[in-house]
Amino acid sequence: MRPRIFLLSLALFLLSAHQLKAEDGYRLWLRYDKIEPEERRSAYLQQLGQVFIDGDRPILKAAGSELASGLSLMLGQAVPWVQEPGNAGGIVACVIGKSQAISRLISEEDAKELQPEGFMLLSRDNQVAIAAKDDKGILYGAFHLLRLIQMQKPLDNLRIIENPKVKLRVLNHWDNLDRTVERGYAGFSIWNWHELPEYIDQRYIDYARANASIGINGTVVTNVNANALIFRSDYLEKAAALADVFRPYGIQLYLTARFSAPIELGGLSTADPLDPQVRQWWKDKAAEIYRLIPDFGGFLVKANSEGQPGPQDYGRNHADGANMLADALEPFGGVAMWRAFVYSEEEPEDRAKQAYNEFVPLDGQFRKNVLIQVKNGPVDFQPREPVHPLFGAMPQTPLMMEFQITKEYLGQGTHLVGLAKMYEEILQTDTYAEGKGSSVAKIIDGSLHGHTLTGIAGVANIGTARNWTGNLFGQADWFAFGKLAWDPYRSSADIFREWAELSFTHDPGALAIISSMLASSYETCVNYMTPLGLHHIMAAGHHYGPGPWVKEMSRADWTSVYYHKADEQGLGFNRTESGSNALEQYSPGSRARFADMEQCPLPFLLWFHHVPWGHVLPTGRTLWEELCQRYHQGASEVGRLREKWNSIEGHIDGERFRQVSMHLEIQEKEARWWRDACLSYFQSFSKMEIPPGLEQPKQSLEYYQSLHFPYAPGIRPRW
C-alpha cells in the first residue's frame, strides 16, 4: 500500500504546484494539464481508473509513478497503482483500468512482434494494456500512452507497436567539471559536481524523465574536450550518484575519456595504446568504474583533434587507441564511441577530407564494441553541409551519427531553427553506397551493412535556464532528436506538430502556425547565414554572428576565407577533380549529383564549385543576384515568423509568449545583420550593385568588421 499512498501524495502535490506556479517552460512537453471539457475527461475515466503493473523493479516503479501522477493530473483525481504477480512467457505488462489478470490481455502472437525496449499498446475490455519484453519497454509505452491522452486521442481499439530502430540513443553533454558549457547557450551545466554525490537536485530526476519520455537511453555527462579528473575515485562516486538517478529511467551513464589520463592521473610516463602498462591502467580503471556503476555504458573519445591527445602522438592509429579502450570495456559489456571529428596539425589541402583519409583505411580493424561517431557533415556542424563521406565508406564498421542540438553555428541561443528538418534531410540522403536506396538512416540503423551495434548521438542544448534550453523553441530540437533517434524514418512535420500540441495548445489553427514556423525556419536560417553552400563564415572563436572576412588565425582552416575563397572572379570552394577533389570521397552515385556546376543542386553549389559572379543559375539570376536574393529572403522570412507568432497570442500563456517574442525580435535584428555584413563583404569582390528593390546595407563594411563580442556565450574571453 505504501507506493499507492506516496503516489497519491505526489499527484496532489503536483496538482497544487501546477495551480500556484505560472507557466515558464520547465515542464517541457510533459505538461499533463487537466483535460477539458469534462465530458472528455469522464470518457477517459471510464477506462483509466487504476494502474496495475506486474513487478516492483526500479524501472517499473518509475513507469507506475509516471502513469499514476500523469493520469491524476490530467483526469483531475487520484489514479493509484498497484502491483500484480509477474506474467508468464517472458512478457512484462501493465494494465490501466479495472483489476484483471494481465496474462489474459496479451497473447503469444502479440508478443512475437516485440523487440528489446519496444512496446505494444492494446485496448481491450474497456481497459488499456502496455506489453513489452523488458522493463524499459513498459516505461516507453507508459510515456507513449500519456502522450496520446495529452493530445486527447481516443483509446478505443488501440493496437500500437513500436520498436526502436537504433540501439544507443545518446545525449552528449559538452559540460566541464567547473560547470561551464562549451558551446552552451542555455546557461551553465546542470551537473553540480561540487555537491554530488550527497545532494541530488530534482532537476536531475526531471532530466531523466524527459529523456526517457522520448526514448533516449544514454547520456555522456562530460565534455569531449575531456578532463582526466573525472576518473579520480571521488569523482567516480559523484558520477555513480547520477547513474543511480538515471537507472530507473532506463538511461545508461557514459563518460568522456581523456587519452592522456594514464599520465595525468595514473603517473605513467606514456599513454601509448600498445604499452602493456597503459593497457592495464585502462583495464583497472574500467573495473573500478563498473564496481561503482554496474550498468556503465562506456567511453566517448575525442583524440588527435583540436589539440586533444591521442594515439597518433605515439605513432599509432585510431584503431589502436579505440581497441585498447574497447578491450578494457568488453568484459563488462561497455562500448567505445570514438569520434571521427579529427584533423591533423598540418595545414590540410581541404579539411573536409581529413576524417575520410584517416578512418577509411582502418575499416574492419576495430573491435566489435567500437562505434565510430561521425558528424553529419564533413566540416563542423555548419547550417547546411552535404552528408559526411564516411557514411557508406566503412561497411565493416558501425558508424554512429552525431548531430548538434545546441546551435553553435545556427543562431546559438537566440534563433528559432527547427532542427528536425535538418536531421530529416541528412537521414534521408541517399549515399548510393550499395546502389540507389542506401540512405544515411539505413547506415545508422545497421540495416544496410548488417550491424547490430548501432547508435546516434546529439550534442545537448540543456543548461540551467529555467526552461532548460534558453530559447523555448530549443525544446523542440531536443524532442525531435529523441524521436528521430528512436525512428530515423519519421517525418519532421509529424514531430513538429506533436511537440507543438504537447507544449502549447490543441487549437488546430494555432498548431498549424507553430508547425509551419518550425518547418520553414531551418531554410530561413540557411538563407540569411550561408546560402547556396557557403560555410564556416562565422566570426572567429565564439562563432557568434557573421565573419566572412576572418583571415588572420594560427591555421588557415580556422579562417573564413579558406572556405569561401571569394575573389574578383567568383565565390566558392572547388572540391571537384580540378580542385581539392574531395568529391572523389563520395560514391559514384553521389559524385554524379555534384560534379557538374550546371547540374549541382543549388543548396550545395558553393560547397563544391568556385562559381563566377556573373554565372547564370537555373533560377535565371546570376550568382551575385541569387546570393543577394537569398540573403534578403532569409531576413524577410524572420519578420514573417514574428507575424505568425503574434497572430496566436491568445492561444499561448503570457510568460512563454513573451519569451518567444523577445527571441524572435533578436533573431530578426541578427538576420538583417548577417545579410548586410555578408553582402557588404562579398560586394567588395563582385563589384556589382545590389539588385533594385532589395534593401541596401545599413552600415559600411568597416563598421561590421569592427564589431567585437568578448563576452559571447560558449567560450571564455581571450585578451
What angle in degrees, to the nearest 10, is found between the helix axes of 474-486 and 202-213? Answer: 50
The pLDDT value recorded for residue 6 is 35
Question: Residue 40's closest CA among 142, 141, 148, 125?
Answer: 148
> Is 1 buried (19+), middle (13-18) or exposed (0-12) by CB count in 10 A?
exposed
Residues 486 and 363 in one domain: yes
Q: Please check whether residue 659 lies inside any domain of the structure.
A: yes
Residues 118 and 179 in one domain: no
> Per the residue annotation, which of 380, 430, 498, 626 is the catalytic one?
380
CATH code at position 132: 3.30.379.10
The pLDDT value recorded for residue 646 is 98
The secondary structure element, H or E, covering residue 94 is: strand 92-96
Residues 136 and 231 in one domain: no
- The whole domain housing 15 covers 2-162
**Bridge partners, 175 (sequence order):** 181
Model pTM above 0.85: yes
% of residues, the chain, pLDDT over 70: 94
Residues 31 and 104 in one domain: yes
The percent of the chain in helix, strand and coil, each rounded to the nearest 5, is: 45, 10, 45
The pLDDT value recorded for residue 98 is 64
Give the pLDDT confidence of 202-236 residue by residue, as tens digits.
999 999 999 999 999 999 999 999 999 999 999 99
Q: Please check whether residue 580 lies inside any domain of the structure.
A: no
> Per the residue annotation, which of 66, 350, 408, 557 is the catalytic one?
408
pLDDT at 503 over 80: yes
Q: Which of 466, 491, 516 is the last residue of a domain?
A: 491
- 306 given a catalytic annotation: yes
CA–CA separation, 464 and 203 (whole Å): 9
Residue 18: band (very low, low, confident or very high) from pLDDT cuts 50, 70, 90: very low
Grid cell at residue 185: 547557450
The secondary structure element, H or E, covering residue 121 is: strand 119-124
The pLDDT value recorded for residue 140 is 98
Dihedral angle sign, alpha carbons of residues 25, 31, 36, 38: negative
User: Which of 163-167, 475-479, 556-560 is predicted least confidently?
Assistant: 556-560
Q: Which of 446, 474, 491 is the last residue of a domain?
A: 491
> Per the residue annotation, which of 33, 156, 306, 689 is the catalytic one?
306
Residues with Cβ within 8 Å of 484's Cβ and at least 6 positions away in sequence, in order, are 420, 423, 424, 427, 456, 490, 495
The pLDDT value recorded for residue 49 is 81
Residues 63 and 180 in one domain: no
* Longest distance between any two alpha carbons in the chain, whole Å: 80
Give the pLDDT confidence of 677-701 residue by residue, as tens digits.
999 999 999 999 999 999 999 999 9
- DSSP 8-class letter at 403: E
> Is 645 buried (19+), middle (13-18) or exposed (0-12) by CB count in 10 A?
buried
Cα angle 329, 333, 338 (rounded to 5 degrees) comes to 50
The pLDDT value recorded for residue 194 is 98
Q: Please check whether residue 660 lies inside any domain of the structure.
A: yes
Residue 713: band (very low, low, confident or very high) from pLDDT cuts 50, 70, 90: confident
Grid cell at residue 228: 582526466
Give the pLDDT confidence of 574-617 residue by residue, as tens digits.
999 999 999 999 999 999 999 999 999 999 999 999 999 999 99
Tell how strand 168-172 and strand 218-220 pair up: parallel
Q: Which of 127, 145, 162 is the last residue of a domain?
A: 162
CB neighbours (10 Å) of residue 718?
7
Mean pLDDT for 533-547 is: 95
Question: Residue 220's closest CA among 173, 158, 275?
Answer: 173
Spatial contact of 49 and 10, defined as CB atoms under 8 Å apart: no
Q: Please check whether residue 532 lies inside any domain of the structure.
A: yes
The pLDDT value recorded for residue 717 is 42
> Where are the alpha helices (H) located in 647-700, listed in sequence order?
654-686
Q: Please check whether residue 584 lies inside any domain of the structure.
A: no
pLDDT at 340 over 50: yes
- DSSP 8-class letter at 388: P
The pLDDT value recorded for residue 349 is 84
Please state the domain count of the chain: 3
Give the pLDDT confidence of 382-440 residue by residue, as tens digits.
999 999 999 999 999 999 999 999 999 999 999 999 999 999 999 999 999 999 999 99
DSSP 545-595: SB-TT---SSSGGGSSHHHH---SSEES---STTTT-GGGGS-HHHHHHHS
Residues 357 and 454 in one domain: yes
CA–CA separation, 524 and 514 (whole Å): 15
Residues 148 and 174 in one domain: no
Cα angle 48, 502, 133 (rounded to 5 degrees) comes to 55
Cα angle 103, 106, 110 (rounded to 5 degrees) comes to 150
Cα angle 413, 520, 643 (rounded to 5 degrees) comes to 80
- Bond from prior residue into 37 cis (ω within 30 degrees of 0): yes
The three-state secondary structure class of 262 is: helix
Give the pLDDT confidence of 239-260 residue by residue, as tens digits.
999 999 999 999 999 999 999 9
- 498 given a catalytic annotation: no
pLDDT at 625 over 90: yes
Q: Please check whether residue 496 lies inside any domain of the structure.
A: no
Residues 96 and 146 in one domain: yes
Spatial contact of 311 and 303, defined as CB atoms under 8 Å apart: yes
- DSSP 8-class letter at 223: -
Cα angle 266, 272, 278 (rounded to 5 degrees) comes to 40
The pLDDT value recorded for residue 285 is 98
Task: Look at 47 and 689; give whichever has higher pLDDT.
Answer: 689
Helices and strands (H and E) in the chain: how many: 22, 16
The pLDDT value recorded for residue 100 is 55
The pLDDT value recorded for residue 3 is 35
Residues 154 and 173 in one domain: no
Dihedral angle sign, alpha carbons of residues 417, 419, 424, 426: positive
Grid cell at residue 387: 552528408
Mean pLDDT for 314-342 is: 98
Residue type, 400: M
DSSP 6-46: HHHHHHHHHHHHHHHSPP-STTTT---PPPSSHHHHHHHHH
Residues 180 and 136 in one domain: no
The pLDDT value recorded for residue 21 is 52
CATH code at position 344: 3.20.20.80
Give the pLDDT confidence of 452-462 residue by residue, as tens digits.
999 999 999 99
- 434 given a catalytic annotation: no
Distance from the Cα of residue 232 to its chain's centroid: 29
Question: Residue 216's closest CA among 175, 246, 255?
Answer: 246
Give the pLDDT confidence of 63-117 residue by residue, as tens digits.
999 999 999 999 999 998 887 765 545 678 888 876 555 556 677 777 889 999 9
Give the pLDDT confidence of 108-142 residue by residue, as tens digits.
777 889 999 999 999 987 889 999 999 999 999 99
> Is 2 buried (19+), middle (13-18) or exposed (0-12) by CB count in 10 A?
exposed
CA–CA separation, 304 and 133 (whole Å): 42
What is the number of residues in the chain? 719
CATH code at position 621: 3.90.1330.10
Q: Please check whether residue 600 lies inside any domain of the structure.
A: no
Residues 361 and 259 in one domain: yes
Q: Please check whether residue 37 lies inside any domain of the structure.
A: yes
Residues 373 and 230 in one domain: yes
